[in-house]
Amino acid sequence: MPAAPGEPAAPGVHAVPGENSAPAEPSEPIPAAPRAYQPAAHRPRLRRHTIAAGIVAAYLLAAVVAVIAHSSWGLPLWLALHLLVLGAATNAVFVWSWHFAEALLHARPASQRPGYLRLAVLNAGIAAVLAGVSASSGGLAVAGAALVITAVTWLIAGLARLAHGSVLAGRLREVVWYYLAAGVALALGAALGGLLATNVVSSARLDTALRLAHAHLNLLGWLGLAILGTEFMLWPAVLRTRMADDAPQWARRVLVVTVAGLTAAAGGLLATAYVSAARWVAAAGMLTYAAGVAGSLVPAVREMRVRPPRSAAAWALLAGNAWLLAGICADVAALSAGPGLADRLLAGSLVPILALGVVAQILTGALTFLLPVVAGGGPAGNRRLTAVLERGWPARAAATNAGVLLLALPAGGAPRLAGWLLALAGLGPFPFLVVAALARRPRCG
């Protein structure tokens, strides 16, 4: 059954606008772009994505400013990291997970009001967390963490209702379960973060264990699982090619393996506060998680062999996944040596690798593809917005990855400063490009 303009495409319709799009194929869809002439009933979705893109761009810009302040005046790197991960990336996952769930489950688009309210609760919580930790106010930070947990629990409940009520789910319906598992990881990670913010933990070993578990649940659970699930449908769409026939089977396997690995890793990390040998459980868990990530690349490589990556979005996703595997391998080695080394690696190398190399690159790559699809208003608008978002992308990609490489090295001083400058040069322009692209989107009246 063909999709109406602005609605999710039916199975077998690969609704990617643009004259270079692949023909109709048995691949899960990226919902079609809204048309400027579409009826008013279809405009709220475009408005939601426009608002969300503005929020993400604002957090990205704030993160850029925080990194500059870190390099120039020693502002804690914690703030920049959380502006990117908790601010920009989390808002993007909140909006796009619901968007994709509606498409994959073939659900009738619901009222936009609950989504706006969820974003309001989420961002109130983020603001409280950032302000509370920055001002050393444990109570405010805990209240913020509680709001974040409330928002993500609300999202989980909504996604579960969608999944339960779906009778026409598509081939990649398992992706919704990635979002559900990711939401649980965020709720647990936020709870640990709230506990850390109270400064009531007197044991250094317990503090390290909590911090490591918090980072793994948020970076590799909340964002990692959401990224892995989304890429099963996003990667072939970005390449404009057919989804591999066995992608749904791999999606199911990878979900089980990565969730099991993350559970073992988080449990092992918490146990290291009391049993040193638990580090082997954590390392084995992350090795299992790495196996899941590698499994997710099996259909991706097949798709890439059919049509190699050529666009800014494709290269950003490819580089982000390469850094994800590199970061996990380094993490496994450090965890095997003990939580102390893992904690130092997290602060020194893993944060740049996962935050900049993985999260920032995949976020910017995904938005480079998705914003024109939902806001372009058709093939001509898609090309126009894509051209804006891709300005100077080869140089920006080279600078970003060179910067991440320098930051990942165990060196300080000039090399580390050069790494931050290169990463800023590569990623810093993107929020401005988003604003420029949104300014050029078609007006729907």
Tokens of 115: 């989504």
pLDDT of amino acid 3: 40
pLDDT of amino acid 30: 52
- CA 167 to chain CA centroid, Å, is 28
- CA 255 to chain CA centroid, Å, is 16
pLDDT of amino acid 9: 38
More confident residue, 69 or 1: 69
Would you list the domain boundaries of the chain? 46-439
Dist CA 283 CA 265 (whole Å) = 7
More confident residue, 113 or 284: 284
- Residue 156: pLDDT over 90: yes
- Residue 433: pLDDT over 80: yes
Please report how many Cα atoms fall inside a 13 Å half-sphere around the Cα of residue 425, on the Cβ side.
17
Dist CA 101 CA 422 (whole Å) = 36
- CB distance 59 to 81 below 8 Å: no
Which residue do the tokens 């393996």 mark? 257
Dist CA 23 CA 35 (whole Å) = 20
Helix, coil or strand: residue 30: coil
Tokens of 269: 């990390």
Dist CA 63 CA 57 (whole Å) = 10
Q: What is the mean pLDDT of residues 183-192?
A: 98
Mean pLDDT of the chain: 88
Q: Which amino acid type is present at position 5?
A: P
pLDDT tens readout for residues 378-401: 888 899 999 999 999 999 999 999
Q: CATH: 3.90.660.10, 1.10.3720.10, 1.20.210.10, 3.10.200.10. Which one for 46-439?
A: 1.20.210.10
Q: What is the mean pLDDT of residues 324-338?
A: 95
pLDDT of amino acid 2: 36
Within the chain, how many helices (H) and strands (E) appear? 18, 0
Q: Which amino acid type is present at position 382?
A: N
- CB distance 196 to 207 below 8 Å: yes
- Residue 42: pLDDT over 60: no
H-type helices in 39-137, by residue range? Answer: 43-73, 77-82, 90-104, 113-134
Quick one: pLDDT band at residue 21, thresholds 50, 70, 90? very low
- Residue 125: pLDDT over 90: yes
Quick one: pLDDT band at residue 168, thresholds 50, 70, 90? low
Tokens of 66: 């925080």
pLDDT tens readout for residues 188-244: 999 999 999 999 998 999 999 999 999 999 999 999 999 999 999 999 999 999 999
Dist CA 278 CA 273 (whole Å) = 9
Dist CA 287 CA 432 (whole Å) = 38
- 111 Cβ neighbours under 8 A, 6+ residues apart: none
